[in-house]
Chain A
């Protein structure tokens, strides 16, 4: 059970609209922020899939002109930032709509830093809380898949890194029409990243009740929908069965995209956790998706921290299994049961994806030699941290729980 901490803070300046015809709220919501000429930043794929047309339809009768830039790529590109900076100012845009995921949203945020102040701000405002003024209106329209950082106040753009509450979007519009048909396995890294941010939000010294509220919902959505979503789409079914499942599929995906957005709000209010940092470091040194690596090391990280610091994180189980199962599990078993649930989730995904989604770092093709380098990179010069990281990675390599 969580007690009220002596002090906590929470900030979420984002207005979230999710569900039927949510896109149609955008013109009015932008108007409320005095934004009249938005620039859509997206990638070619979104244009080809007709997502830009959907936004244009939502702006019919608004009398607005929209700019569309669909040249965002998967990697950080300073030339694109310069190009967009001039476009934005020369053509009189006053808001940005970021349509897409990961790198596209990061590009939009970096451009917003430049156009809201001066181009020199890109170099001057780097780091944590380097931004000291609100930026121009930014709306994010998520699509299926992503890094779960889209709605957070964080940008990693090549060598540039920013973390500030001013980078959180003003509007997030989650519309079923934008959750386009995807390979279901593409959703897994997003959901796992969201789960990691949410679970790690519990691992702070005194806890934060507001953060945990968002984290609970995120964990609940992931556990309620991820496996069903993958199961339904992977299963070979007759067309009639697929048709009848269409609606629930969309609901499941919508829930996972909502979970990713909420995980972003959680991430913006918590320090970057050890599992997230280990996952990124593993991703940089191997071919495994950083989000999946985060998820694989997550139970080990939580076990190690609970063992070392003596925290009671038994409440983590509740959003995973619901109140009845939570109540049926003795208090002393709850934390272990929660970690077993996360491992079980990966085992199931491993089976459903026919081994495309790894259960352990060994499955992911990470070599034992790489583990020491990852531990060193994350822990730095602190020997105790380095030892903890090595323990976690060794256990995650074979999928073994970290014993007390």
Chain B
């Protein structure tokens, strides 16, 4: 029996904490970008009424839920995907995969190519969500970091890079 033991691997409290903060901020930034940025606004307008999506890590990792309310306003809805009827659920296979994504060592496209991300819901809606998240990451991150996180860094006008970026960040902080 000396050759046998049972182990229960512990959690990753610091990683979980970091991801919770990141997802909280990104969720609020999506809400802010939907009000500030025309492209994000159009993407959301094209999505169905009361559209809700979640980004989460399996099996019970950190999550964020974002959706449109009955008036069409985009809101960060918290971190409990189970509380809402979801149209699209983007799930990373493990918390480590989500950590790779949010430490900008791997882009969403690379995570998909490496079979770390799976989607439940309609593909066109999921693609729209990925496009929105890419725009939000450009707003939140400095260019060298954002280039790692997204497939192609966009060529934007100066106003979008400066005024809109500042407003998205400010709105994300104050939650409006």
> A306 at interface (Cβ–Cβ under 8 A)?
no
Complex alpha-carbon distance, A79 and B141, angstroms: 59
| Contact indicator A61/B94 (Cβ below 8 Å) | yes
| Contact indicator A64/B4 (Cβ below 8 Å) | no
**CB of A28, distance to nearest CB on chain B (Å):** 4
> B6 at interface (Cβ–Cβ under 8 A)?
yes
**CB of A160, distance to nearest CB on chain B (Å):** 22
Chain B residues within an 8 Å CB radius of A61: 11-12, 16, 57, 59-61, 94-96
3 shortest interchain CB distances as A-B pairs: A71-B3, A28-B93, A24-B96
Complex alpha-carbon distance, A253 and B5, angstroms: 31
Known: A25-B115, A69-B3, A71-B3. A64 touches B9 (CB 8 A): yes
Q: Which of B61-84 contact A (CB under 8 A)?
A: 61
Known: A17-B115, A21-B97, A24-B96. A66 touches B3 (CB 8 A): no
> A179 at interface (Cβ–Cβ under 8 A)?
no
Q: Which of B7, B96, B115 meets A58, CB within 8 Å? A: B96
> B10 at interface (Cβ–Cβ under 8 A)?
yes
Q: Which of B6, B12, B59, B97 meets A67, CB within 8 Å? A: B6
A-B contact pairs, 29 of them (CB 8 A): A21-B116, A24-B93, A24-B97, A25-B93, A27-B58, A56-B9, A57-B9, A60-B11, A61-B11, A61-B12, A61-B16, A61-B61, A61-B94, A62-B9, A62-B59, A62-B94, A63-B59, A64-B8, A64-B9, A65-B7, A65-B8, A66-B7, A66-B8, A66-B9, A68-B5, A68-B6, A68-B7, A71-B3, A87-B4
> A31 at interface (Cβ–Cβ under 8 A)?
yes
| Contact indicator A66/B6 (Cβ below 8 Å) | yes
Chain B residues within an 8 Å CB radius of A161: none
| Contact indicator B60/A70 (Cβ below 8 Å) | no
Q: Which of A19, A21, A25, A60 meets B9, CB within 8 Å? A: A60
- Nearest-CB residue, chain A, relative to B4: A69
Complex alpha-carbon distance, A56 and B8, angstroms: 8
Complex alpha-carbon distance, A92 and B6, angstroms: 12
The dominant DSSP class at the B interface is loop
Complex alpha-carbon distance, A65 and B9, angstroms: 7
> B42 at interface (Cβ–Cβ under 8 A)?
no
| Contact indicator A60/B12 (Cβ below 8 Å) | yes
> B152 at interface (Cβ–Cβ under 8 A)?
no
**CB of A157, distance to nearest CB on chain B (Å):** 18
A-B contacts, CB under 8 A, total = 74
Chain B residues within an 8 Å CB radius of A124: none
- Nearest-CB residue, chain B, relative to A19: B114
Q: Which of B130-174 contact A (CB under 8 A)?
A: none
Q: Which of A30-63 contact B (CB under 8 A)?
A: 31, 56-63
- Nearest-CB residue, chain B, relative to A40: B7
Q: Which of B83-131 contact A (CB under 8 A)?
A: 93-97, 100, 114-116
- Nearest-CB residue, chain B, relative to A57: B9
Chain B residues within an 8 Å CB radius of A66: 6-9
| Contact indicator B94/A63 (Cβ below 8 Å) | no
Complex alpha-carbon distance, A63 and B95, angstroms: 12
Chain A residues within an 8 Å CB radius of B61: 61
| Contact indicator B97/A63 (Cβ below 8 Å) | no
> A309 at interface (Cβ–Cβ under 8 A)?
no
- Nearest-CB residue, chain B, relative to A93: B6
> A118 at interface (Cβ–Cβ under 8 A)?
no
**CB of B112, distance to nearest CB on chain A (Å):** 14
Chain B residues within an 8 Å CB radius of A91: 6
| Contact indicator A70/B3 (Cβ below 8 Å) | yes
Contact indicator per residue, chain A 303-326, by CB within 8 Å of chain B (1) or not (0): 000000000000000000000000
Complex alpha-carbon distance, A17 and B114, angstroms: 9
Complex alpha-carbon distance, A91 and B115, angstroms: 32
Chain B residues within an 8 Å CB radius of A27: 58-59, 93-94
**CB of B119, distance to nearest CB on chain A (Å):** 14
Complex alpha-carbon distance, A228 and B16, angstroms: 41
Complex alpha-carbon distance, A383 and B151, angstroms: 65
Chain A residues within an 8 Å CB radius of B94: 24-25, 27-28, 58, 61-62
Complex alpha-carbon distance, A31 and B94, angstroms: 12
**CB of A85, distance to nearest CB on chain B (Å):** 13
**CB of A372, distance to nearest CB on chain B (Å):** 44
Chain B residues within an 8 Å CB radius of A59: 9
Chain A residues within an 8 Å CB radius of B114: 19-20
